[in-house]
Amino acid sequence: MKKYSKSLKYINNYWKKITFYHPKDEKLSIGLPHPFVAPNAEKFKKVQFYWDSYFIILGLIEAQKISLAKGMVDNLIYLFKRFGRIPSGSDFPCLVISQIPFLTSMILEIFYITKNKKWLRKTSIVAESELKNYWMNKEHLVYRNLSRYCDKFLSHEISEHESGWDCTSRFSGKCLDYLPVDLNCCLYKYEKDLSEIYEILNNRKKKNYYLKASEKRKKTIIELMWNEKKGFFFDYNWKLKRQSNFYSLAGFFPLWVKIVTPSQAEKMRENLKKFEQKGGLANTQKHNLFKKFRQWDYPNGWPNLQWIVIKGLLNYKFENDAKRIAKKWLDMVEKVFLNTKKFWEKYDVVKCDVGKEGRYPTQSGFGWTNALFLKIAKELKFI
């Protein structure tokens, strides 16, 4: 029997259940012009989420569902044109925040397959506008040309939701005071991606502009967030002018965007032991967490962050570490699936069980879990 065959069959059959199409606004739901994959068919049905879309698209591409993947990017483009931002999800309450930005990553994933320069040019205009008019507006851009998460009400709690980490002990309840390492790495990649896009489009001026901007951001990220003694990256409290000392998987984003030296990467690799459990990687350190459990804290591990770390390790040729973590996660997801007949949005990677609930009951389904199970299994040649 093919390895993970039951899980793969479940994933293949589940795409239809979480693919929705509703082009008109309906109550709280924002109408979208193209079909899309939602996280599940229960709590999150009929909603396309921003950062979920990137990880779902990685799986859709592996499943040869290119048209559906492209349509999801076009939906995000539509949302930006309509509202002046890409909301965290396609319902009206989500309009107060966006979500950690992966738009250029999605655009390039699609372009590498379609080679459609006309589409690339059209989407790049929106990407530029999102970067300049949202992530680098006066509310987000607060210190040394780096950005923070920020909602329209300037609320620590709602701003934390913009990170996607809803909720976590990572920001000590004061999200607005931090320059997050994951956000600024994503913005670095955004600028690098735009430089690549404009090279493809033969616009040398813009190519060089974004390349220079990315190098400037990289330098500042390393200066403020790299801790040589600890061999790791931390969020930076711009109000107190000091690094956080809180370990989280966000600290591995510099590996994913490839801004570290080989020696820094080796030091970061040594920090894997702070997170690695029987079922993969826990999101955060074990100690100094809020008493009231936050669902993005230890012992939970979320599929999207498993991928960020695994891909980051592969970027620096740490194949053994990447494969070890990937196998732990795949085996755990399959074990829980065989017990529950479902995939889940997050997992307790210590107990190798369904994730511990936080803001809401742990959801089954699940869009990015299905997608990344397929992506990781294929990328690391487990199937």
What residues act catalytically? Answer: 166, 345
CA 340 to chain centre: 26
For the chain, strand residue ranges (E) read 19-20, 36-37, 141-143, 146-147, 178-179, 226-227, 232-233, 236-237, 242-243, 276-277, 280-281, 300-301, 343-344, 347-348, 353-354, 364-365
Measured distance between the N- and C-terminal CA atoms of the chain, rounded to whole angstroms: 11
Please give the angle made by the CA atoms of 4, 9 and 11, to the nearest 5 degrees.
95
Other CB atoms closer than 10 Å to residue 315's CB: what's the count?
Answer: 15
The answer to whether the beta carbons of residues 220 and 211 sit under 8 Å apart is: no
305: which 2 tokens?
């962050």
The answer to whether the beta carbons of residues 336 and 207 sit under 8 Å apart is: no
Pair type for strands 236-237 and 232-233: unpaired
Closest Cα partner for 260 from 284, 234, 226, 230?
A: 226
Q: If you ran DSSP here, which 8-state letter would residue 13 be given?
A: H
CA 128 – CA 209 distance, rounded (Å): 12
CA 99 – CA 134 distance, rounded (Å): 11
CA 176 – CA 76 distance, rounded (Å): 25
